[in-house]
Amino acid sequence: MKQKKNLQNALNHRASIEVPSHPMYLSMIRIFLEKLLKLIDIQTLIIEDIKSAVDEACSNVIKYAYKYSYDKTIKVYFSYSPKEIVVIIEDYGEKPQDLSFQGRDLLDLKPGGLGMHFIKKAFDEIVFKSSKKTNKLKMVRYL
Amino acid sequence: MEIKIEDQKNIRILSAMGEVDMHTSPELRKHLLKAVKDKIPIVIVDLKEVSYIDSSGIATLVEALKGMMKYKGSLKLCSLSERVKEIFSFAKLDKVFEIYKDLQDATIG
């Protein structure tokens, strides 16, 4: 166990995946994250939360940045240190109009508006940056 | 994701298999909205074989629930995995939906 922890700390855990902006590729992103997080022995509950959050964030890219245009690109960058897990999602679509990162009131029963809650559940820090060409959503989970 | 449909007297059972996400939830939505349109009195969604559900899947179930409320129909969910249960609890939907341990309980409940 200690040996495994030492190995975790010694390795430079960085990886990325680039997929087309079609919803069929969301499952690939989930598999990518699950495999990576299992490799570094992250608790199952945290793995599931991160998978859900990144899935929701990528769905938002398809819906709001790319307006359901399926021939664009989504990049997901992952890094791990014993202190934190960082996931950055990059797209080349429109800048979102609402940057408040608010989900709907959970007591207000209506379809939609839950994705942001999943993102906030999994990550402690959420930062959005937009330049002329790219949008970057950086999400940090402290360990 | 695959969906198996079974009709019993006044009951339609939709058994979903696989992952429910932005790509697959439109298929579930199609079957649920058909049941709403047909005013099926009781619809049971069996989630036994569902390993993952995202907000679009949940939105689909909420939309169907609201549609069924209009004609006093009943939407029941059964056989939720621990993870799916946890998601419903987090979204405060565990008190909104009728959730049953398994298909048998949902059918007689």
The domain locations on chain A are 2-142
Contacts of B83 in chain A (CB under 8 A): 48
For residue range A1-35, list pLDDT tens digits in order.
555 565 566 567 899 999 999 999 999 999 999 99
CATH number at A2-142: 3.30.565.10
Q: For chain B, say whether A93 makes contact (Cβ under 8 Å).
A: no
* Domains parsed from chain B with CATH numbers: 2-108 (3.30.750.24)
A43 vs B: CB within 8 A: no
Which residue out of A55, A58, A105, A120 would a mutagenesis test of the B interface target, given it has the greatest number of B Cβ atoms within 10 Å? A55
> Which residue in chain B has the smallest CA separation from A25?
B23
Contacts of A115 in chain B (CB under 8 A): 54-55
Q: Is residue B45 helix, strand or coil?
A: strand
B8-54 pLDDT, tens digit per residue, is 989 999 999 999 999 999 999 999 999 999 999 999 999 999 999 99
CB contact set of B16 (below 8 Å; sequence gap of 6+): B1, B2, B3, B28, B45, B46, B47, B49, B50
pLDDT tens for residues A85-122?
A: 999 999 999 987 776 667 666 667 766 678 999 999 99
Place of tokens 């907000």: B55
